[in-house]
């Protein structure tokens, strides 16, 4: 999951830079725009596929889709047809709005990341509280919900160390939480998971 995240981040940054250059050329009525567009067509397709493919994969891996994510996705998907029409028909306003939507979506992603990091720093190390905040969405309060293909934790043969590794690294549809929890929180949740067993 971490490699996918970094590929996504790099492709988003390259995508933004590429469209910043193209939009700048369009707004400046640069005759070099056509040549630049032809020269970068394949690169643009590869970057776009990497951006959308990794984004789609990470979206599938999320335990829940919050309002911020829905707004961000709406901005990205609204920007695509605007960019296509804007550059094909030389509509400067559409191209500029498209770029602003992509930049806004990236900014929202960074805001969400900053919020998660802040939550990670201030979150309680109490296993029950952290479990309810991070894990109960799929596993349920009692560990038996089995949503998103999650196992019934009350029947799990995992010991403390195995639970700890899975919490940190993820498994199957479960994302890795190493970037969202402190080591103390991971230990506390792994201990709490042991108490859910029958």
Residue that has been written with the tokens 């952290």 in this structure? 130
pLDDT in tens, 3-51: 888 898 899 999 999 999 999 999 999 999 999 999 999 999 999 999 9
pLDDT in tens, 77-94: 999 999 999 999 999 999
Rounded distance, CA 38 to CA 16, Å? 18
Q: What is the pLDDT of residue 126?
A: 85
Query: What pTM does this model have?
Result: 0.59
The answer, yes or no, to whether residue 110 has pLDDT greater than 50, is yes
- Classify the C-alpha dihedral 123-10-45-27 as positive or negative: positive
Q: What is the pLDDT of residue 137?
A: 87
Q: Are 188 and 126 in contact (CB under 8 A)?
A: yes
Residue 121: pLDDT band with limits 50, 70, 90: very low
Q: Which of 35-44, 98-107, 124-133, 141-150 has the lowest mean pLDDT?
A: 124-133
Q: Are 190 and 168 in contact (CB under 8 A)?
A: no
Write out the two tokens for 195: 């108490």
Q: What is the pLDDT of residue 146?
A: 84
pLDDT in tens, 51-66: 999 988 888 876 667 7
The answer, yes or no, to whether residue 124 has pLDDT greater than 90, is no
Residue 55: count other Cβ atoms within 10 Å of its Cβ.
19
Question: 78-116: b or e for each residue (b if 16 or more CB lie within 10 Å)?
Answer: ebeebbeebbeeeeeebbbbbbebbeebbebbeeeeeee
Q: Are 65 and 94 in contact (CB under 8 A)?
A: no
Q: If you ran DSSP here, which 8-state letter would residue 175 be given?
A: P
Percent of the chain at pLDDT above 70? Answer: 90
């Amino acid at each position: 999951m971490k490699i996918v995240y970094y590929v996504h981040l790099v492709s988003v940054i390259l995508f933004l830079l590429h469209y910043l250059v193209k939009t700048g050329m369009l707004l400046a009525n640069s005759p070099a725009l056509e040549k630049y567009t032809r020269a970068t067509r394949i690169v643009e397709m590869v970057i776009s596929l990497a951006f959308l493919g990794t984004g789609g994969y990470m979206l599938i891996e999320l335990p829940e889709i919050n309002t911020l994510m829905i707004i961000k996705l709406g901005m990205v998907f609204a920007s695509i047809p605007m960019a296509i029409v804007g550059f094909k028909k030389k509509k400067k306003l559409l191209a500029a709005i498209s770029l602003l939507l992509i930049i806004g979506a990236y900014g929202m992603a960074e805001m969400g990341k900053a919020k998660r990091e802040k939550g990670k720093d201030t979150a309680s190390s109490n296993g029950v509280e952290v479990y309810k905040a991070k894990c109960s969405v799929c596993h349920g309060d009692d560990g038996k919900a089995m949503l998103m293909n999650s196992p019934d934790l009350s029947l799990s043969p995992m010991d403390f160390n195995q639970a700890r590794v899975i919490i940190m690294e993820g498994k199957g549809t479960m994302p890795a939480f190493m970037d969202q929890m402190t080591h103390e929180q991971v230990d506390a949740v792994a201990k709490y998971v042991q108490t859910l067993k029958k």
